Amino acid sequence: MSEVSTPTPFYFQPSRQSPVAILLILARLFRSLIGQFWPVLILLLLRRRSANSSQMWVWVGIGITIISVVRSLVTYFRTRFYVQNNEFILEKGGITRRRLSVPLDNIQTITFQQTFLHRIFNVVSVEIDTSGAKGSEISINALDREKASELREYLLSWKKENPSSAAQEKTPSIKTPENTLLQLDFGDLLRIGLSQNHLRSAGILFGVLASFAREIQPILGKSTYKYLEEEWGLTFNFFWTFALWIGVFFLLVSVVATMVLTAVRFYNLRFVRTGEGFRLEAGLFTRREQAAYLPKIQFLRWSANPLQRMWGMFNLRFYQAAGYELGRKQTLQVPGCYLSQVDTVRQAYFPESTALPWRWLSPHRLYFRQRLVFLGILPLIGLMLKTTLDFSWFWLVLTLLWFPTAIWWQWNLFRRKHYGLSTEGLWTRSGFFTQSQTLLLWRNVQAVVLHQSFMDTRYALADLTFYTASGAVEIENIPFSTGTELCDYVLAKLEYREYMIT
C-alpha cells in the first residue's frame, strides 16, 4: 500500500501573488500619475477646449490606460517569491529584472495591511522588514490571507527551529492558544481620542497661523500687527482677545480631528496573545495587522496622562528589533490598555519581574538643580530683560509666575523619577503629567555607554545609556560607583552571551 505524500508548502516553489495584485498595481500607477500631473489636469479642466483638443486628450487618456494595464500585467507575471536554501527570494520587475535574496535569519518583522479593496477579495499586503534595511525591503501587493498567515508562521518559527538562531534568541517560549486580550468598542475609542494631547495639536495649528502672519509681512510692507492696527484700527487688547478665542477654536478643532483620526486608525482594534508573542489588528480604511515576536521585543514602555489614569487606561508600546532607521514606525502601539493587559504583556516579556528583588534608585539632586537653571533661571533672566525694555502687564505677570512654576514643575519631575535594578533587567519610572514606565531585559542590550559631564565628575555621578536593536534607555545622575558596577555587570552578561553563541 503506497503512502500518501504530503503536499509541498507553496512557499518552497516559485509562487505568484493573487490576481488581485493586478488591480492594486494599476491603482498605484494611477495614483502616482495623478499625484505628479494634478496641476496639469486641473488646468485642462478649467480652460476652454475645442472639439479637436477634447478628442486628442481622450486618445491620450486611452493610451495611458493601455500602457498602465500592460505594465501591471507584466509586473504581475514577472513577480515571484519563494524560500530556498534558508533565504527568502523575491523576483520582480517589468523591463528590468530584479532578484532580491534575504537570509531568513535577517527577517525582523512581518506586517499585514488591508485596504478596502484587499478586504473585498480577502487578500492582504505583506511587508517584511529586515535588519539593515531602510523601510520595508520586501513587499507583496496581494496574497490570499490563509497563504499569508501560513508564510508568516513559517518565517517566524524558522529561527526557533534553526539551531544557529536559537542560540542567539534564548527567550523561553511557551506554546499557548490564541487569546484576545483587548478589543476596543466605540466608548473606548471615544475615551482614547479625548485623552490625547490636544494642547500640542492646537499649539501646532496656532503656530501655523503665526507663521502665515510673518510670511505676508513682505507683501504688506510692514508688520502684520501694525498693518491691522493702522488699516483696521485694531488695538493690542483686541489681538490678545483674538488669540485667546482662536486658541479655543483650534483646541476644539484638535479634539474633533483627533477623535476622528483615532476612530479611523484604531477601528475594531484586537490585541491578541499568540503562541509566539502578540498580534495587533486595527484600522477602518486600511486594516493593519502587526505581530510582535517575543524574542524580537527589545523593551516595553507604558504611559498614562491624568485623564487616562482617571479611566485606568495605558498607552502600551513594544519596541522590537526592526529594519535600519525605521524608528517609531515599527514600534507596536496598543492604546486603551488596562492594567490587566499591561501585566499580561509584562509577564510574557519578563516572567521574573514580579519575583525578583529590585533595588530602587533616584537621581541625585543635581538633576533637579541643572534643569532648574536651564529651564527656570535662564529664561527668567530673558523675561526680566524683556519686561524692563518693553514693559507690559502681560510680560510682568509672565515674569512673576515663571520661576515658581518652574520650581514646582521640575521638583515634581525629579521626585517621580526612579530606576529599578535587578539581576535580569532595568525598570524605570518617570514623568509628572504623563507618567511612563520602561522595562528592559539585560540580554537585549547591545552596548553600554557611561558618560560624565563636568558637574557629574564634581559630584561623583554618572549617566548610563543602554543601546538595543530598537533604541536606547537612559538613566541619569546615579552614583559613579553604582554606574561603573552596573556597566561592568551588563557588559559581562553581553560577553558571556556572545561567547555562548560562538
Distance between CA atoms of residues 19 and 13, nearest Å: 18
Alpha-carbon torsion, ordered 111, 115, 117, 120, to 10 deg: 80
Distance between CA atoms of residues 77 and 60, nearest Å: 26
Please state whether the predicted TM-score (pTM) of the whole model is above 0.85: no
**pLDDT of amino acid 167:** 41
- Which residues, including other chains, have CB under 8 Å from residue 78's CB and lie 6 or more apart? 91, 92, 93, 94, 97
Task: Give the amino acid at 345.
Answer: V
**pLDDT of amino acid 385:** 93
Q: Find residue 18's DSSP bridge partners.
A: none
Task: Give the amino acid at 64.
Answer: I
**pLDDT of amino acid 208:** 64
Smallest Cα–Cα separation from 82: which of 95, 97, 99? 99
Tell me which H or E stretch contains 326.
none
- Helix (H/G/I), strand (E/B), else coil: 477: strand
Smallest Cα–Cα separation from 430: which of 362, 354, 356, 359? 362
Smallest Cα–Cα separation from 453: which of 362, 367, 365, 361? 367
**pLDDT of amino acid 313:** 93
The answer to whether the beta carbons of residues 147 and 122 sit under 8 Å apart is no
In the chain, count H helices and then E strands. 17, 20
Q: What is the 3-state secondary structure (H, E, C) of 149-187?
A: HHHHHHHHHHHHHCHHHHHHCCCCCCCCCCEEEEECCHH
How high is the mean pLDDT of the chain?
82
What backbone torsions phi and psi does residue 471 show, to the nearest 5 degrees?
125, -170
Tell me the CATH class for 10-168: mainly beta
Domain boundaries defined on the chain? 10-168, 193-265, 366-415
Model pLDDT for residues 177-192, shown as the tens digit of each residue: 688 999 988 888 888 8
C-alpha cell at 190: 471615544
**pLDDT of amino acid 172:** 47
C-alpha cell at 32: 502616482
Alpha-carbon torsion, ordered 198, 199, 202, 206, to 10 deg: -170
Smallest Cα–Cα separation from 275: which of 194, 191, 374, 172? 172
**pLDDT of amino acid 157:** 80
CA distances from 296 to 152, 299, 448, 480, 496 (A): 15, 9, 19, 32, 20
Sheet strands (E) in 312-407: 313-320, 332-338, 359-361
In terms of Cβ atoms closer than 10 Å to its own Cβ (0-12, 13-18, 19+), residue 452 is middle
The answer to whether the beta carbons of residues 17 and 79 sit under 8 Å apart is yes
Smallest Cα–Cα separation from 110: which of 153, 81, 80, 77? 153
- Helix (H/G/I), strand (E/B), else coil: 368: helix
**pLDDT of amino acid 406:** 95
The answer to whether the beta carbons of residues 336 and 273 sit under 8 Å apart is no
Helical segments of 443-502, H only? 454-458, 480-501
The answer to whether the beta carbons of residues 460 and 500 sit under 8 Å apart is no
Classify residue 135 by its DSSP letter.
Answer: S
Question: DSSP string spanning 185-212?
Answer: -HHHHHHHHHTS-HHHHHHHHHHHHHHH
Per-residue pLDDT of the chain (502 residues; tens, 9 = 90+): 445 556 788 888 899 998 888 888 888 877 777 766 666 666 566 555 555 566 776 777 787 778 878 888 888 888 899 998 888 999 887 667 788 888 888 787 788 888 888 888 889 999 887 765 555 568 888 999 999 989 988 887 886 666 554 444 444 444 556 889 999 888 888 888 888 876 666 566 666 666 666 666 676 666 666 666 666 666 656 666 766 677 677 778 777 888 888 888 899 999 999 888 899 999 888 888 888 888 889 999 999 999 899 999 999 999 987 644 444 446 789 999 999 999 999 999 999 999 999 999 999 999 999 999 999 999 999 999 988 888 778 788 889 999 999 999 999 999 999 999 999 999 999 999 999 999 999 999 999 999 999 999 999 999 999 999 888 999 999 999 999 999 999 999 888 776 665 5
Helical segments of 392-446, H only? 393-415
**pLDDT of amino acid 324:** 42
Distance between CA atoms of residues 390 and 385, nearest Å: 8
